Amino acid sequence: MTVKQVQASTLVLPIIDLRAFLSDPESAEAKAECEKAAEALTKYSALAVRDPRVSEDENRKFLDTMEDYFAQPYDAKLPDARPDFGYQVGVTPENTEKPRCGRDESCNAMVAQMAEENKPLPYDGTDPKWRFFWRIGEAPKETQFQRLNASPVMPAAFPQWETVMNTWGYLMHDAVSVLAEMLAIGFGLPRKTFVDMAKYGPHLLAPTGSDLEKYGKVGTVLAGFHTDLNFLTIHGKSRFPGLHVWTREGQKLLAKVPDGCLLVQAGKQMQWLTGGHVTAGFHEVCVVEDTLKSIERQKAQNRPLWRISSTLFYHIASDNVLRPLGGFATPQALKQYPDILAGKQVQAELGFISLMDEKTV
């Protein structure tokens, strides 16, 4: 869908540097970064991370591989789809996933109250993006949620697939795991609270691919207005700008990720565990004026015109219970966020976005 859009202000996200924490988690500098991370996520539902273990060269290799994968003919990719597993492994074709807000009355009511300059672009259709899901991390030995913990899919034309996916996936997983420890400290919880709950989670390396030859007009919505259903989402820097984020006050901003940094956003499971202290971050991806400059640069390098997001969804383990923790467990929060198995919460969300048959929820 293509519409005229209002130019949003640019937000340079706060940068959380992991160096001090990796060196000495007990140092004053590390503790200050923990508090800074908690404040940033509370204010913006997003932040930037600088991890000395993650190189831009690895991001480049990953983006190159995914551009080549998505640039294959449509029918060459379809054997990699697993609709019977809610597309939770393998490829999801374009125009399959629907933004959750298109079916959520409370979300629509919130948008109706926004000032015109802060409103998202239309989000009532399907997203024209493709996606590939690749499991990262150890699977649980026993689980009630086998469909959320399925075996991986190997694309036939890419013998290097497993190495490339695991290399980038574990870099992202390790970075967001350290941040999860820092956030726990920043929120006054025991350091291992979140990482222990995320052990054996259905973490998914989940790159999207949007064909900018087909969908490269300014105002085209590539991923409609939504929040993520998981705990934390982490991305490498995309080659094409176009991510809008919303502050909890409802201000729409074009996110700018500094060079050498990763982008992290809060998801629904974070909102649940903090009793709404942190809200899942609303965002959309669309084609903006600066996207056109990146298209020209990509053409000059004779590379496929596919916008890739090098995304990893970091999850709470499916069989763990979501409930407000520690000081977040107020009577009001416990009423608003009642106990639910993380796997049940994920299944319900997948039904909303048309990836899993709601009869199984």
What backbone torsions phi and psi does residue 43 show, to the nearest 5 degrees? -80, -45
Is the Cβ–Cβ distance between 208 and 308 less than 8 Å? yes
According to the model, what pLDDT value does residue 200 have? 93
**Pair of tokens at residue 332:** 């009001």
Is the Cβ–Cβ distance between 346 and 87 less than 8 Å? no
Q: How far apart are CA 316 and CA 268, in angstroms?
A: 11
Whole-structure pTM value: 0.91
> Of 315, 320, 309, which is closest to residue 267 (Cα–Cα)?
315
Q: Indicate whether 97 pLDDT > 80.
A: yes
- Residue range 33-60: average pLDDT? 95
pLDDT digits (tens, 9 = 90+) for 110-129: 999 999 999 999 988 899 99
User: Which domains does the chain possess?
Assistant: 9-360 (2.60.120.330)
pLDDT digits (tens, 9 = 90+) for 268-282: 999 999 999 999 999
Q: How far apart are CA 230 and CA 62, in angstroms?
A: 22
pLDDT band at 344 (very low <50, low <70, confident <90, very high): very high
Q: How far apart are CA 241 and CA 34, in angstroms?
A: 28
